[in-house]
Each structure stands twice: as C-alpha cells, then as structure tokens.
A and B are shown apart, each in its own frame.
Chain A
C-alpha cells in the first residue's frame, strides 16, 4: 500500500505546530504497513494533484492566507476534481476559508476564493481564541484542540462539528467546520491529529479503505497519546465547571 501526502504551503501556513498533523498521519499509516511519501510544496511550485491521496494545509497569518489563495488559483480545477474523486483534504485554521466563495478583508475588500464550496469568510478586528471541545458523528468521542483566528465563516451548509466548548465558526455559533465528501475543514489549529488519536484512526481507516477496499485495520497501541487525550479532557471539564 502506498499513500502520497501533499503538505501544501508548509512554510507559510504553519503558525501553531501544524507540522504535527502530517507527522501523525505518516506514523499511523506506516504502522499499518503503508509506504508514505510526503511532498512539501509551496509558492510557485508545480503541483500534480492526480498523484496525491491526501492534501494538508495549516493555519497562516491573514496575509499569508491571501498570498496562498492567489498562488493556489492556478489549480482550482484540479482541486475541484480531486474533491469530486473522493480524495482527501484536511484544511485547518483559516486555510479552509480558501475553498469557499470569497474572503472579505478588514478593508472590506472582497477576494474571490477558489469557489468550490458555498461558504464565505470575513476578517474581524479581534482574535477568536479558545479551547475547543467539538463533537462529530464520525467518531465516538469529541475532539480537543485550540482555535486562534481573526476571521469568521458564514453560510456554511455542511458543518463538521457541534460545539460543546469553544467559539465555533463565529461568536456564539453552535457549529464549526465543514465537510463534503472527504474534504475536512476546521478552525481547530495546531496538531489535532496528534491530540485526537481516535480521529486520526478514523481518518487512516477511511483513507485506506477508500484506496484499498480489502484493507483491514491493524490495532496499534496508542496508550500514551490516549492518556494525554483523557487527561486533557478531564482538565477541560474541570475548568468548565
């Protein structure tokens, strides 16, 4: 089994330890006996979406996000096809804004985005910073993490999460994230695939089943990661009270 991961704009969209996500995915896949190749790609690089199985983009500054949007427009059609072919994209932090209709910056300027999904994003003159405890029907336990952004997402038809704790897509929203086929977008920043081993297991199973229908998941001991998750959940619930 072979999986090619493209880590896009690794050197521009990397504010909060996002490199952990690709490391986690690689490790989990290798433990299943998969040969993993990671392509680190950025501004002006040639991209060949037909050869990737999984694409990752992390959170960046508001400026870098717009720079990346401009660069990625070259591949709008390829990305749309990639998603329609059920291939995987994980876009964390403000990276998932790039795939919507447009982004409105603080000067009210409208930047046309990749226009693959219906939602749009708008920059705000404050930062949304909070712990995250989000639920999704895809896995049994909620996800932990952090959000740290200066923008909000609106008109989102397919949220990925229900907010238990945290701000969500915009202040007082009850939902967060976006899912369509195998596109997963969320404002959760940082190493969410490290901190949520149950979600990473789900992703790895789905990726491999998708490409290799006969594949059977091998159980791997993740007790250290799982204890970290459990301890943090306890900590979160204790500060909530």
Chain B
C-alpha cells in the first residue's frame, strides 16, 4: 500500500513540477519518505545501464538512450541532470505503473560518482560504464581518495563493467573486480604527446608496488598508455579501441575495422561514443544499426556550439570550473585548430552549488597549452578576470595580449573592435549561455 501511495504522489509531484521547471529530485525524495525501500520493491526492466564519470555522464547517457530508442527499446533516462539517488527514484516512479512494474525495456541512469553507492545499494545496474575519474569540485569532494572510496563501495562482482582503459585511476578502482570488465580506449594519434605536460598527475605511482608509473603517451592529463616498470600495473588490453581518428572528416574506426561517425571533433566525444558502442556490442546490436543511430544523433551537446560573430566563426566551449580536465579538453581543442585566433575566458561565480570561491583548480588546469596555440588576443571577462589573467601570464602569455573586461557586453565590443581571427570562447557554465545569446543578437 505504501508503495502505491509513494508511486501516486511521486507521479503527481513530477507532473506538477514538470509544468514549473522540468524534472527534479523532489518527487523521488517524497516517494522515498513515504516508502523508504522504494528502490527495492519496484520491478526492474530487463536492462539497466548506469553511467558515471567526472565528465561526460550526460552526453554518454544521451548517446546510449538515443541508440537504444532507435533500435526498438523503450527507454527511461534521468535526463534532467538529477543524478543523485532521489533523481533516480524520480525516474523510476515516472517509468512504472501502479503495480510498481517499470514499463520501459531499459533504464539509462546517469549517476554522480559519489552517489553510486547509495543508488546501487538498492538498484543494481546490469552494466556500469565508468568514463573517467578526475579532480572535481574540491570543496565538495575533498580529494580523489574520498571519491574512489565511495565508488569502490558501490561496485560488486555481478555488474558487468564497461570502462575507459586509458584512465589509470579507473584501473586502480577496478583492480579487485572479479566480475566481467570490457575495456574501451583511444589509440595513439596525432594529438597524443609523449612527455607529461604537468607535474601534478592524479596518479603517478603504481598502486601495488609504489614504483613510478611510466607513460608511453598521453591523450590528456594522466590518460593514455601507462605501465609499472615492475609489471604490476598497466593499461589493460583494449577490447574496443578507437583507431585512425580523423578530426577533419569527423570519423574514427573501431579496431581498424568499423567506421563510426563523430558528431563533432572533440576527443571527449570519441570516448563517449566508444562507451556507447561497447555497450551495443555486449547487448547484441548490429554495428550498422548503431552507426545509423549515431548518424541520427538528435541532441545538441550542451558543452559545444558553433556560432558566428560578424563574419568570424565563434566556437563556444562550456567549461566546468573546479574541474581542471574540463578546461584541459577545451584548451587542447583550441590548440588543435592552428589558425591565428582570439580566445575568451572567464566566469562570475566559481561554483553554483556553494558560495565558496576556491581558485586553486586554476593552477591544476593546463593553461600552458595556450602558449603555443597561435593566439592574437585573450579576453578575460567576469568577476574573477584578474585571477584568470594572472594564470595566463604564468602560462607564458604576453601581458600585452591579454585584455581584461568586467562584463560580457564590454568583452563582445572589444572582441569585435580589437581582435582578429576565429573566436574560441572557453567559458564557465554560469556565463556561457549569456555569451552565446549576446553573440547571436549582435550577428542578427
């Protein structure tokens, strides 16, 4: 009875909130209050896939949802970014009938790394995709040991893990996993580099013998091909490897054999697509059907947009403050485009979750990449523009090439009057939409 009341009230709350602000964690919280073991008493669908990562959870889960839908599955997905246990309950309540039977063929769950423990305790996925583990929101997370300890408690041997084999921290996390693991990864390519760019790798030593890890190449941060000199730890054999990556014509191959399209030319997108492709092969989809669904991928990646300012191409790259790797991705993307260019960076709030303004992460992100990226001017904007400018000076950017602005309005005026070449805006989430909107208004 409690279960039915919880489902009905949860569904009502969801409908009411839908009119106001889309999905949220509230219906789930309400249902849990009425029926604390709600996650256990609901009847599961035949397939549950969970996705966790520091970066790319939503994109990966979206690609998977799209792929499953186009291959005949009915799919429930907590797409509104409510990736905590309450968010997952909201999704389940929304996807089930009054008997508590989930009426979808599959559930795709995007789960916050530290909430995996809570969610999986009650609702264990058949497949768990782990995309990457990296420094993120230090005031909330403390450090990676805290995150990894929580994630470790979430795993159990009945889950089939689908993991990024290039990330040594994921390998460390799954060392004692006795269940199935399938690895995906990216092969060495034109954008890989051999010498570590930074001294503050998230993992520098073998987790077994503490010998210093050796890297054959890097894709970014500590992601790449690594091994312990004593043979205790190394990049695993990759089952599904992205090879022959062609950023220009936007495609890559799986193990040199199957050609997959890329919706854009971002490295992270390759990883996300690879994760989805790996899953598709484990659940028996045909490669050609997966390729068709990737071509029809009908979602705009929130982190990436191509606009025009006057007649200049303007690429908008959303970055996540306090997640240095999110900046590294954007910076390496900028470097890969070799023409003389203008860059815009900044934010007004460090984080939307709390009022603290910790700025240490600025020094963990690899802004040094910009030093040899053929830049005309860098415009720093927002409340912390002087902190960003300081970071850029230390990264080797000439002070004369840095322009500091307080507002976006002022920044756009200066970009139009005083700068050259295509524009790359690497802005934090708090101002990136406003920037894109103003650019569109100016150009229309």
Q: Which of B113-121, B388-396, B408-416 contacts A (4 or more CB under 8 A)?
A: B388-396
Q: Is B268 an interface residue (CB 8 A)?
A: no
User: A237 near B: Cβ within 8 Å?
Assistant: no
- Report the separation of the CA atoms of residues A48 and B214 in the bound assembly, to the nearest whole angstrom: 25
The chain B residue with its CB closest to the CB of A239 is: B355
What are the residues of chain B within 8 A of A16 when measuring CB–CB? 138, 358, 360-361, 364
* A235 touches B (CB below 8 Å): yes
Q: Are B142 and A127 in contact (CB under 8 A)?
A: yes
Judge if A88 is at the interface, Cβ distance under 8 Å: no
- Name B367-404 residues within 8 Å CB distance of A: 383-384, 386-387, 389-390, 393-394, 399, 404
Known: A11-B200, A20-B394, A43-B205. A146 touches B358 (CB 8 A): yes
Does A115 make an interface contact (CB < 8 A)? no
Note all chain B residues with C-beta closer than 8 A to A146: 139, 356, 358-360
Interface membership of A177, Cβ < 8 A: no
Q: A19 touching B138 by the CB < 8 A rule?
A: no
A20 close to B363 (CB less than 8 A): yes
Contact A190 B357 (CB under 8 A): no
**Bound complex: CA of A224 vs CA of B399, how far in Å?**
10
A14, B199: Cβ atoms closer than 8 Å: yes
CB pair B390 A228 closer than 8 Å: yes
A129-B356 in contact (CB<8A): yes
Inter-chain contacts of A40 with B (CB < 8 A): 199
Q: B142, A19: Cβ atoms under 8 Å? A: no
Interface residue B297 (Cβ < 8 Å from any Cβ of A):
no
In the complex, the chain B residue whose C-beta lies closest to that of A221 is: B399
Task: Tell me how far the C-beta of B315 lies from the nearest C-beta in chain A, rounded to whole angstroms.
Answer: 27
User: A231 — which chain B residues lie within 8 A by C-beta?
Assistant: 383-384, 386
Q: Is the CB of A61 within 8 A of B389?
A: no
The answer to whether A217 has its CB under 8 Å from any CB of chain B is: no
- Bitwise, B335-378 to A at CB < 8 A (1) or not (0) is 00000000000000000000111111111100000000000000
**Interface of A: prevailing SS:** mixed
B172 to chain A, nearest CB (A): 13
Q: Are A15 and B143 in contact (CB under 8 A)?
A: yes
Distance in Å from the Cβ of B187 to the closest Cβ of chain A? 26
Q: Complex: how many Å from CA A191 to CA B359?
A: 8
Judging by beta carbons under 8 Å apart, are A148 and B383 in contact? no
Q: In the complex the two chains form, is B390's CB within 8 Å of A224's CB?
A: yes
Chain B residues lying within 8 Å of A12, measured Cβ to Cβ, are 204-205
Whether B142 contacts A148 by the Cβ 8 Å rule is yes
Asked if A212 lies at the interface with its beta carbon under 8 angstroms from chain B, I say no
A61 near B357: Cβ-Cβ < 8 Å: no
Q: Mark A37-60, 1 if CB is under 8 A from B, else 0.
A: 000101100000000000000000
Task: Say yes or no: is A130 at the interface (Cβ < 8 Å to chain B).
Answer: yes
Q: Does B210 contact A (CB under 8 A)?
A: yes
Residue in A closest to B389 when the chains form the complex, CB atoms: A224
Task: Tell whether, in the assembled complex, residue A129 and residue B363 are in contact, meaning their CB atoms are under 8 Å apart.
Answer: no
Assuming the A-B contacts A194-B390, A227-B386, are A17 and B361 also in contact, with contact meaning beta carbons closer than 8 angstroms in the complex? yes
Cα-based distance from A194 to B135 in the complex (angstroms) = 21
Pairwise interchain contact A225-B390, C-beta atoms closer than 8 A: yes
Interface pair A17/B364, CB less than 8 Å apart? yes
Across the interface, which residues of A come within 8 angstroms of B441, CB to CB? none
Q: For window 177-203 of chain B, which residues contact chain A by CB distance below 8 Å? A: 198-201
Complex CA–CA separation, A63 to B143 (angstroms): 11
- Contact among B135, B205, B360 with A191 in the assembled complex (CB-CB below 8 Å): B360
> In the complex, A16 Cα to B357 Cα: how many Å?
13
CA distance A127 to B358 in the complex (A): 15
Given A129-B356, A189-B360 in contact, is the A228-B204 Cβ separation under 8 Å?
A: no
Q: What's the Cα separation between A19 and B389 when bound, in Å?
A: 17
Among B138, B146, B201, B205, the most chain A Cβ lie within 10 Å of the Cβ of B138
**Chain A nearest CB: distance from B323 CB in Å?**
13
8 Å CB contact of B359 from A15, A24, A27, A195: A195
Q: A16-B361, A190-B360, A228-B389 are in contact. List 9 more A-B contacts (CB 8 A).
A: A10-B200, A11-B199, A15-B360, A23-B394, A40-B199, A42-B204, A228-B390, A232-B357, A239-B355
Can you list 10 A-B pairs with a CB-CB distance of less than 8 A?
A: A15-B360, A16-B361, A18-B363, A19-B364, A24-B394, A42-B212, A43-B205, A130-B356, A146-B358, A231-B383
Q: A residues engaging B (CB < 8 A)?
A: 7, 10-12, 14-20, 23-24, 27, 40, 42-43, 61-63, 67, 127, 129-131, 146, 148, 150, 189-191, 194-195, 224-225, 227-228, 231-232, 235, 239
